[in-house]
Structure 1
Amino acid sequence: MTENIIKEGKTLAIVSYLTLFGTIIAFFMNQDKKNEFTAFHTRQALGLWILQMILGYVIGGFDNWNITLAFWIGISVLLFYGVLTAISGKVQPIPLLGDFFQKVFASLGK
């Protein structure tokens, strides 16, 4: 991936991590340009937001602050990691789940 592609897609890549709506906005704004860097980070962010919704529902059933707090800290760290890699211009998957998200959402951004 060239430096120019990274530079052009960096803003939308960062936006994709902000909220689920940011991911949707980045996806649709990237449809015309088909920037590989933005598509990579959009797939990562979409996977994290879907994981957050699914696990949040399951963990909410425990009704335990310790479990809930650990969950939110874990999701926040992964989102922060994604934002930092987007800011630094790296195409680096999120630990543990990043490669899985790339395979599952491979059709997005192509």
Structure 2
Amino acid sequence: MDQSTKEQGKTMAIVSYITVIGLLIAYFSTRGDKENEFVTFHIGQSLRIFILGIVISISVGVLVSITGLSILSYLSYAPLVLMILGAMNANNLKEEKLPIIGNIG
């Protein structure tokens, strides 16, 4: 993939990491003729983050209610850290997979 393709999709790649609405905006704005491989890669990474966020939220809720260890609720910040890391990669025009979840799917 050449540098100009990455530059054209940089904004949408960053937007894909900003909440689910940003993910949907990036997805629908790059469909059809405007498809960009760089944006598609970051949309996939962002989707994995949001799925992980849902899984962690449910798991932490159950674990905290069973064990009473409220310190486990700090695991809920993991998707936020991954979103920031993904947005930084998009800003730097990198196509690096995110740690832990980058190879899933």
Q: Show the 5 A alignment for 1:87-102.
A: 87-100=91-104
For the pair shown, the structure with the greater C-alpha radius of gyration is: 2
Question: Given the two structures, how large is their TM-score scaled by the length of structure 2?
Answer: 0.88
Measure how far apart 1:76 and its partner are: 1.7
Give 2:80's aligned amino acid: S
Corresponding residue of 1:108: none
Q: Quote the RMSD (CA, aligned, Å).
A: 1.1
- What's the % identity of the aligned pairs? 32
TM-score normalized by the length of structure 1: 0.85
Where does structure 1 lack aligned partners over 5 or more consecutive residues?
105-110
| TM superposition outliers: structure 1 runs of 4+ over 3 Å | none
**What does residue range 33-44 of structure 1 map to in structure 2 within 5 Å?**
33-44=34-45
Partner AA of 1:60 in structure 2: G
1:18 paired residue number: 18
Q: Which blocks of at least 5 consecutive residues in structure 2 are unaligned?
A: none
Residues matched between the structures, number? 100
> Secondary structure at the residue paired with 1:90?
coil
* 1:69-92 deviation per Cα after TM superposition (whole angstroms, max 9, x unaligned): 1x1232222111101000000000
